[in-house]
Amino acid sequence: MAGNWKMYKTPQETAAFFSSFNPMVVGTSNCDVVVFPPTISICSAAEATRSTQIAIGGQNIYWEKEGAFTGETSANMLCAAGATWVLIGHSERRHVVACENDSQVLKKAQAALAAGLKPIICMGEKLEDHKAGKTDEVLIKQFAGGVAGLTEEQFAQVVLAYEPVWAIGTGKVATPEIASASHKLMREEAAKRFGEEASQQVRILYGGSVKPENIAGLMNEVELDGALVGGASLDPESFAALVRGA
């Protein structure tokens, strides 16, 4: 169960979140829990979760180790701040803030793995593609240009996420059937490139308007291995309900 906080929560608000959230999920061992605060709040989050099972991740990295790249953060820097995970290729980075493309997604995933970070590589189609029946085409292209460039050893370390852009922050959750069909397609692409066993082992999360009220139906689908939650991860009670619902 992954919570992507996007551009929400200062270091102080982060500390306050975990002082409420930690006791609500203490002893929960049904799933891995990882929270992705903004970069500025990673140290605060790592400190607040030090003796818990909750892991912390960054929302983005740059692929170089260091250099004249104003505004960027390297994988090693995230590790040093206490992160163990990183989101790669989130749709807001692809379409809203940075025009990230598939080859950059691959470079970022490789840099993350080289530094020992576990990447969650995100894919998903925009509304116009969804309406035009082009979901499979988009996912196949994103897989081929990004994930398929990893080695088999690297692929064994990653988690994938299906996040249809039309479901992100819109309150329009994909039906369990729609999500399941896309996960199945991504698993088929993985099987073609990395083999059947690797495709069965990779975890694929669903993201897009996941809430405590709809988590049960989504998690009933065998193809869905977890969720990548935006808005509903910002409130300790609703994120704790989602962790329990996983």
Site for ligand 13P in 67-106 (CB under 6 A): 90
Site for ligand 13P in 139-158 (CB under 6 A): none
DSSP strand pairing (54-58 vs 33-36): parallel
According to the binding rule CB under 6 A, does residue 176 interact with ligand 13P? no
Q: For the purposes of burial, counting CB atoms within 10 Å of the CB of 43, is it exposed (0-12), middle (13-18) or buried (19 or more)? A: middle
Compute the least distance from the CB of residue 213 to ligand 13P, in Å: 13
Compute the least distance from the CB of residue 28 to ligand 13P, in Å: 20
Residue 10, CA distances (Å) to 25, 37, 41, 186, 234 in order: 22, 9, 6, 35, 12
Q: How many residues does the chain have?
A: 246
Q: Catalytic residue at 13?
A: no
What distance in Å separates the CA atoms of residue 114 and residue 225, rounded to the nearest whole number?
A: 25
Name the H helices within 64-168.
75-81, 91-92, 102-114, 127-131, 135-145, 152-155
Q: Catalytic residue at 90?
A: yes
What distance in Å separates the CA atoms of residue 204 and residue 222, rounded to the nearest whole number?
A: 10
Site for ligand 13P in 209-228 (CB under 6 A): 209-210, 228
Active-site choice (90, 100, 183, 223): 90
Number of residues lying near ligand 13P (CB under 6 A) = 14
According to the binding rule CB under 6 A, does residue 174 interact with ligand 13P? no
Given 57, 149, 207, 236, the residue binding ligand 13P (CB under 6 A):
207
Active-site positions read: 90, 163
* Interface contacts to ligand 13P, rule CB under 6 A: 4, 90, 163, 168-169, 207-210, 228-232
